[in-house]
Amino acid sequence: MTWETVIGLETHVELATRTKIFCACTTAFGGEPNTHCCPVCMGMPGTLPVVNRKVVEYACRAGLALNCTITRRNRFDRKNYFYPDLPKAYQISQLYLPIARDGHVEIETEGGKDTIRIHELHMEEDAGKLVHDPWTDQTRCDYNRCGVPLIEIVTEPDFRTAEQVIAYLEQLKSTLEYLGVSDCKMQEGSLRCDVNLSVRPAGSRELGTRTEMKNLNSFKAITRAIQYEARRQIELLEEGKRVVQETRRWDDNKDATFSMRSKEDAQDYRYFPEPDLPPLELSEAYLEELRAKQPEMAGARKERYQREYGLPEYDAGLITGQKALVDFFEAAVDLGAPAREVSNWMLGEMMRRLKEEGLEPRQMKLTADNLASLIQMVEEGVINRNTAAKVFRAVFPDNADVRDYVHKHGLEQVQDMSLVKRTVEEVLAEHPDAVADFRQGSQKILGFLIGQTMARLKGKADPRAVSQEVRQQLEG
Amino acid sequence: MKITAELVEHVSQLSRLRLPQEEKERMTGELEGILAYMEVLNTLDTREVEPLSHIFPIKNVWREDEVIPSQTRQELLKNAPTGNGETFLVPKAVE
Ligand SMILES: [Zn+2]
């Protein structure tokens, strides 16, 4: 029998606000344990939460970008549970009236184009971090993250493959980065994913029993977890067993999912409307204002790069896929560097160096103005392309000024044509055989002679001028 | 709604309350009484009334995204029965 995998995603994204969702504590990452806390985020009696205006704005902007309908009248609900990651014993979330619903995202994979429907997007607060201490057999609680604003984006079960899931997440990440509402750093946990997965006989319209996988913090882990879990469920069904609806934890080291001890009492969060927070009523004028502020997204920008700058579709796609690359590209172009040149440097040398150093584009030190200077030096004939590539590789880690670097290392191109002429004369004199070969019609030998001359000039001459000089002397 | 002994057991578990048997029995009766009163309220026709989400007719109470220094850790940890000067300590909760 052939099986079909059906996947839905719940993605938690940390919003890039300065303060927490209901109090003025900082959201800065790291920090000594329990130094970003106050009576409000600790849920002390007598305190009142007040919603951060930016959180509402960011959630709306994300909802609009995901083609959702904004719930003009929305409010918060209380999700009750006792677990020491939340000192309040409840999480403020949105169950009944999420801020955005019914959206969709278009994705593209090798299998073609697909539409992924967004079920809803809601606001909620993050919980604290628990660390078990094996020495004392106690659990240490750090509440710095309590109350850090999150949006949870829930899709319909529209994915069939891991490739589609990754394409969706990349698109989501890019969209949120363009909006500036989140920095989507998976390593720091600002984008986290739960995967709901079930399998069914191909062609069936009914959904099978699903499991939920948590603890997926990289695209690689997501892909492997999906493959593993689909195979596990198919094997169970083929053996005549059944899939148990449960939460499973992905273990990156063991490359497998494990059942999380299910509490004897099934999840029962006894949600009710949050009495401490008045409802939100968003006016059409407010939403209109936000719509007007939405930036140009990856798709539109990609088309514009092709149209305006004549970039090939593939190149335009690579650059617009990451906001950090877009910012770099546009900054260099704004400084007057030719767009095609900038793009070629970025997708060639820059990508190679990023890969070598294991860096993300946003982590690199190299600045757009430094690359623009380098491109300009090539255009002015101060250095040739080969030298430029070497300079690029050298200045990349620390963003050393390219002009200083070229000057300090004496890499300027030889401008003195009489020196070029003399060098060619010497080379020809030393290689009479090669000269004879050329005279007998061997064009190939030309490259050898040019290479010899360039080597003698330490690679600092303009290869075109050298080539011309060699030809002239041979033919003359 | 009928309040059964099992339901009281379930709710007390969710609330992390360990109730002695006689208290469970008393609770069963009391909860039954409270819910019976809700039944009285349920007889009202509220089809034309918008659900109340807050007791005051207020909306959009929010603040600007500006950081105010947090409580000092020393002050914060005073509220904890057990701490180690940096973190709160609770009985084992993670595996
Ligand atoms: Zn706080």
Convert the pLDDT of each residue in A391-409 to its tens digit. 999 999 999 999 999 888 8
Q: pLDDT band at residue A52, thresholds of 50, 70 and 90?
A: very high
Residue B28 has pLDDT above 50, yes or no: yes
Structural domain includes residue B36: yes
Q: pLDDT band at residue A264, thresholds of 50, 70 and 90?
A: very low
Convert the pLDDT of each residue in A72-97 to its tens digit. 999 999 999 888 899 999 999 999 99
Structural domain includes residue B51: no
Q: pLDDT band at residue A126, thresholds of 50, 70 and 90?
A: very high
Give me ligand 1 centre to Cα A132, in Å.
24
- Which residue of chain A is at minimal alpha-carbon distance from B73? A35
Give me ligand 1 centre to Cα A41, in Å.
4
Give me ligand 1 centre to Cα A180, in Å.
23
Range(s) of the domain holding residue B14: 5-42
CA separation for the pair A466, A423 (Å, rounded): 9
- What residue ranges in A380-424 does DSSP mark as E strands? none
Q: pLDDT band at residue A448, thresholds of 50, 70 and 90?
A: confident
CB contact under 8 A, A84 and B88: yes
For the stretch B57-81, what's the b/e string if a residue is b when 16 or more beta carbons lie within 10 angstroms of its beta carbon? eeeeebbebeeeebbebeebbeebe
DSSP state of B21: H
CB contact under 8 A, B61 and A51: yes
CA separation for the pair A416, A409 (Å, rounded): 18
Please say whether the beta carbons of A106 and A113 come within 8 A: yes
Mean pLDDT in residue range B29-53: 88
Among A31-40, A73-82, A441-450, which stretch is predicted with the lowest mean pLDDT?
A441-450
H or E element at residue A191 = strand A191-201
Please say whether the beta carbons of A32 and A174 come within 8 A: no
Q: What is the pLDDT of residue A103?
A: 97
B93 versus A340: the higher-pLDDT residue is A340
Mean pLDDT in residue range A425-431: 85
Mean pLDDT in residue range B52-56: 79
Q: Cβ atoms within 10 A of the Cβ of A344, count? A: 15
Q: What is the pLDDT of residue A161?
A: 94
Report the CATH fold assignment for A417-475. Answer: Arc Repressor Mutant, subunit A (1.10.10)
CA separation for the pair A212, A155 (Å, rounded): 14
Domain residue ranges in chain A: 3-285, 314-408, 417-475
Which of A34-38, A421-425, A465-469, B87-91 has the largest mean confidence? A34-38
Compute the radius of gyration of chain A from its Cα atoms.
30
ipTM of the complex: 0.87
Structural domain includes residue B59: no
CA separation for the pair A156, A396 (Å, rounded): 43
- What residue ranges in A354-436 does DSSP mark as E strands? none
A385 versus A266: the higher-pLDDT residue is A385
Q: What is the pLDDT of residue A337?
A: 92
Q: Which of residues 13-52 of B touch A (CB under 8 A)?
A: 13-16
Q: What is the pLDDT of residue A266?
A: 56
CB contact under 8 A, A138 and B82: yes
Q: How far is CA B57 from CA A52, A56, A95, B53, in A?
A: 20, 20, 21, 9
Please say whether the beta carbons of A171 and A153 come within 8 A: no
Mean pLDDT in residue range A56-69: 97
Among A90-99, A437-446, B7-16, which stretch is predicted with the lowest mean pLDDT?
A437-446
Structural domain includes residue B37: yes
Mean pLDDT in residue range A258-286: 82
Q: For chain B, how far is it from start to end, CA to CA, in angstroms?
A: 38
- Which residue of chain B is at minimal alpha-carbon distance from A280? B60
Give me ligand 1 centre to Cα A98, in Å.
23
Average pLDDT score, chain A: 90
A266 versus A462: the higher-pLDDT residue is A462
Nearest neighbour of B93 by CB, restricted to A24, A42, A83: A83
Q: Which of B16, B52, B63, B79 to mutate to test the interface with A (most CBs of A within 10 A)?
A: B63
Residue B36 has pLDDT above 80, yes or no: yes
Nearest residue to A73 (alpha-carbon basis) of A272, A290, A283, A274: A283
Q: pLDDT band at residue A416, thresholds of 50, 70 and 90?
A: confident
- What residue ranges in A24-128 does DSSP mark as E strands? 51-52, 69-70, 73-74, 77-80, 90-93, 100-109, 112-125
Residue B42 has pLDDT above 50, yes or no: yes
Convert the pLDDT of each residue in A291-300 to its tens digit. 999 999 888 8
Specify the CATH number for the domain of residue B14. 1.10.20
Among A311-315, A471-475, B59-63, which stretch is predicted with the lowest mean pLDDT?
A471-475
Nearest residue to A423 (alpha-carbon basis) of A466, A468, A472, A476: A466
A243 versus A456: the higher-pLDDT residue is A243
Residue A342 has pLDDT above 50, yes or no: yes
Q: What is the pLDDT of residue A257?
A: 84
- Which residue of chain B is at minimal alpha-carbon distance from A42? B76
- Which residue of chain B is at minimal alpha-carbon distance from A261? B95
Residue A461 has pLDDT above 90, yes or no: no
DSSP state of A33: T
Mean pLDDT in residue range B24-31: 90
Q: What is the pLDDT of residue A121?
A: 98
- A106-110's contacts with Cβ under 8 Å and 24+ in sequence apart are A107/A164, A107/A167, A107/A168, A107/A171, A108/A167, A109/A161, A109/A163, A109/A164, A109/A167, A110/A163
Whether residue A38 lies within 8 A of chain B, CB to CB, comes out as yes
Q: State what percent of residues in chain A have pLDDT above 70.
A: 98
Q: What is the pLDDT of residue A193?
A: 92
Structural domains of chain B, count: 1
CA separation for the pair A130, A455 (Å, rounded): 62
What are the chain B neighbours of A34 within 8 Å (beta carbons)?
A: 73, 76-77, 86-88
CA separation for the pair A98, A81 (Å, rounded): 20
**Strand, helix or coil for residue A108:** strand
Mean pLDDT in residue range A21-46: 94
CB contact under 8 A, B59 and A280: yes
Q: Which of A77, A139, A261 to mutate to test the interface with B (most CBs of B within 10 A)?
A: A139
Query: What's the whole-model pTM score?
Result: 0.81
Nearest neighbour of B14 by CB, restricted to A54, A265, A277: A265
Structural domain includes residue B26: yes
Structural domain includes residue B31: yes
Q: What is the pLDDT of residue B94?
A: 66
Q: What is the pLDDT of residue A265?
A: 45
Q: What is the pLDDT of residue A249?
A: 86
